[in-house]
Structure 1
């Protein structure tokens, strides 16, 4: 297996400043770098830049993939983890870490589970995962505890032998509703959807929490004219993108941990994996039942159509001889097979009235009329219509 690595950073909240862009360019001489993105592929060598430094200087999300086991996601939270430490610390396990900024309340949440080479399927498309990560970051900034659970799940279900014994943290409400948005993220870490389905079985209903857009709207409506003018002055006199990003982060970071309901379980990772396997098997059995039912319906429909067709053959045999001629004239293996089938069914339909002789005679006629059509003659021989 040849080595392949992919590294990407994205600036979500605002574009990089000149100083931040200069810092990013010092991290790699080969990457494609802009104020909004940084990405590079490696078939040999490695990215030796400062990931945390990049995230502290303009970029907001980071993804690192290597086909020998590395799958890392890191996100910068400008305001803080929007939960009390007693809440979010229960989701921090080996492979998931929080690095606070030296100044301020922000920091970087890094998910880097351990996987052996060849343990997971190789990936070549990373855009869906990056979109999912950006969306999950926005949810987390707004106080969505389900995102922390997803990160815990990816960290806990890794290649470590003792990871199956890890105890499950409190299960946030509404887990099932996040499954669609989280699917590319789960796939990146080799987690099947049934795993989240197993977790969601004990999950309570999602709380009625305002969306980020609704919270921003409410915040705007709550401001006085004086506050609005002050913010407008900042936007016009300073770096407007930076002011906007800081303001939005402050609004979204105002969530308290008591908002999101949770359910405490006694499960460990192995129990989740076992339940996911049961759900997967149940889905497989339902799919097999659906396929069998569909095949039965198809067979019944074909039998009915054949019954009608053979009655028509009894009434108008010459029509079906012409049909065989038309199919042969159209050329092509499928048409030759269809023509042979028509003559075979005609033989059966007229079994009591010379059908054998009629079909074989017409097959001989076709062979004589088209002596070079070997595939047609082969189709007729398979049906026993031609010597």
Structure 2
């Protein structure tokens, strides 16, 4: 099997100037490079730079996968966004690179054994901006997912602060992350049960209020923002906040309550049973909905049966493969609709007439052999 590697990086805050784009072009002569993005696929070659260094210098989110099963998702945050206490647990799946300006999180899978292609990569990439925004706003559930994943695969995980995030309700983006990174939903439920039973720290998720922010800006802040807008052409909200921030986002606090394997263990078995029950109920509900929809479709077909017989004959009269396929499709639908309406005898009579009218069309008859 040949090598195949996919890289995609994107800048969410601001633009890549000409100098930055020139530096990126030196890294890859074939990459698709725009004012906000970099994308390249390699066969028998590789990126001429360390991806984490490219991310730290130029981009805010990124994604990499290789056809041998490696996957990396990159999320870059302003320095101090996440407390050190939340980043210190050991995990093969989470790597952190920090400098004076940024915290770069790399979420890694070494052996992803499901089918994965560029379309899957593009679909998942669409979630990264929202995941980054949630982290910046103080929703740190993503880090707990990686802790749970490490616990599930048997790693010796260190304690992390027990902060009362709402794990009973997670966003679609977090759900997509949990599915790709194989974070057990039963363990997420166990964590929610742990939080409900034990004392924990209150989550401090920031709800941005633009009026309050504007009223607190000094003249110097406003001049800084106006100057930056003239230089760059625009500013994102995160850029503006970072430029006017008076103190570190991550003011270290003393944590009294901690999540450890021992604190969550008493709730895991119950959570697994509840999760299995919920899954069974969800499957039953889905089947009931599908059954009702199928029955409605069959009832509609039966009520319009004369038109369907006419359509089947019109398609048969085209005397071509696609016409025979359509005719067969209509007849099989009619067969199910008559069965659903307990009118099999009427179907048999009309079907015999149809066969008699098309007896010379062997290719069509072959398609209807299971109804003969």
* Same fold (TM > 0.5): yes
C-alpha distance after superposition, 1:132-173 (max 9, x if no partner): 22222222223322232234445x268xx643x546644541
Equivalent residue, structure 2, for 1:72: 72
The aligned residue for residue 323 of structure 2 is none
Matched, 1:219 2:213: yes
Report the Cα distance in structure 2 between the residues aligned to 1:76 and 1:141, rounded to whole angstroms: 10
User: How far, CA to CA, are the matches of 1:299 and 1:16 in structure 2?
Assistant: 52
Correspondence for 1:122: 116
1:247 and 2:240 matched: yes
- In the alignment, which residue of structure 2 is the partner of 1:112? 108
2:89–2:158 CA contact under 8 A, matched in 1: no
- Change beyond 3 A, Cα 1:25–1:292: closer
Residue 38 of structure 1 deviates from its aligned partner by: 0.6
Which of 352, 359, 364 is 1:372 aligned to? 359
Q: Offset of 1:272 from its aligned partner?
A: 9.0
Whether the aligned pair in 1 keeps the contact of 2:193 and 2:267 (CA below 8 Å) is no
**Structure 2: which 5+ runs fail to align?**
314-326
Match of 1:281 in 2: 276
- Residue aligning to 1:97: 95
Render the CA deviation track for 1:71-112: whole Å, top value 9, x for unaligned. 1122222332342x3x224445333232222xx353322223
Q: Which runs of 5+ in 1 are unaligned?
A: 310-322, 349-358
Give the aligned partner of residue 321 of structure 2: none
Q: CA offsets per residue over residues 306-336 of structure 1, 9 Å max, x none?
A: xxx9xxxxxxxxxxxxx88994795344448
Are 2:138 and 2:206, in contact at CA under 8 Å, matched by a contact in 1? no
Deviation for aligned residue 1:291: 6.2
Work out whether residues 235 and 244 of structure 1, in 8 Å CA contact, stay in contact via their aligned partners in 2: no
State the SS of the aligned residue for 1:73.
strand
Tell me by how many angstroms 1:14 deviates.
1.1
- Contact 1:12/1:36 (8 A) holds in 2: yes
**Cα offset for 1:185?**
2.5
Q: Could you tell me how far apart the structure 1 residues matched to 2:90 and 2:204 are?
A: 26
Look up the match of 1:202.
Answer: 194
2:21 maps to which residue? Answer: 21
Q: Indicate yes or no: 2:167 matched with 1:175.
A: yes
Structure 1 residues 260 and 298, CA gap change in structure 2 (3 angstroms): farther
Secondary structure at 2:74's aligned position in 1? Answer: strand
Q: Is the 8 A contact 2:86 2:160 kept in 1?
A: no
Match of 1:318 in 2: none
Q: 1:244–1:19: structure 2 CA closer, same or farther, 3 Å change rule?
A: farther
Provide the C-alpha distance between the structure 2 equivalents of 1:191 and 1:170, rounded to a whole number of angstroms: 19
Q: CA deviation at 1:296?
A: 8.6
Give the superposed CA RMSD: 5.0
The answer on whether the counterparts of 1:167 and 1:267 sit within 8 Å (CA) in structure 2 is: no
Is the partner of 2:194 in helix, strand or coil? coil
The alignment's TM-score, normalised by the length of structure 1, stands at 0.66
* CA shift in 2, pair 1:369/1:162, >3 Å: closer
Superposed CA deviations along residues 348-382 of structure 1, whole A, max 9, x for unmatched, are: 9xxxxxxxxxx99x789948973737778x98997
Distance of 1:71 and 1:337 partners within structure 2: 44
Q: Is the 8 A contact 1:11 1:37 kept in 2?
A: yes
How many Å apart are 1:255 and its aligned residue? 5.3
Q: Distance in 2 between matches of 1:143 and 1:364?
A: 66
Secondary structure of 2:58's match?
Answer: coil
Distance 1:74 1:326 in 2: 54
Q: When the two structures are superposed, what TM-score results if normalisation uses the length of structure 2?
A: 0.68
Q: Look up the match of 1:234.
A: 227
Flag the 1:70–1:273 CA change in 2: closer, same or farther, 3 A. farther
**2:287 and 2:191 mapped to 1: Cα distance?**
30
Q: CA deviation at 1:188?
A: 3.4
| 1:54-73 matched pairs, under 5 angstroms | 54-73=54-73
Mapped contact 1:7–1:63 kept (Cα < 8 A): yes
Is the contact between residue 308 and residue 334 of structure 2 (CA under 8 Å) also seen in structure 1? no
Change (3 A) 1:347 1:8: closer
Question: Where in structure 2 are the equivalents of 1:43-58 lying within 5 Å?
Answer: 43-58=43-58
Contact 1:93–1:152, Cα closer than 8 Å, also in 2: yes
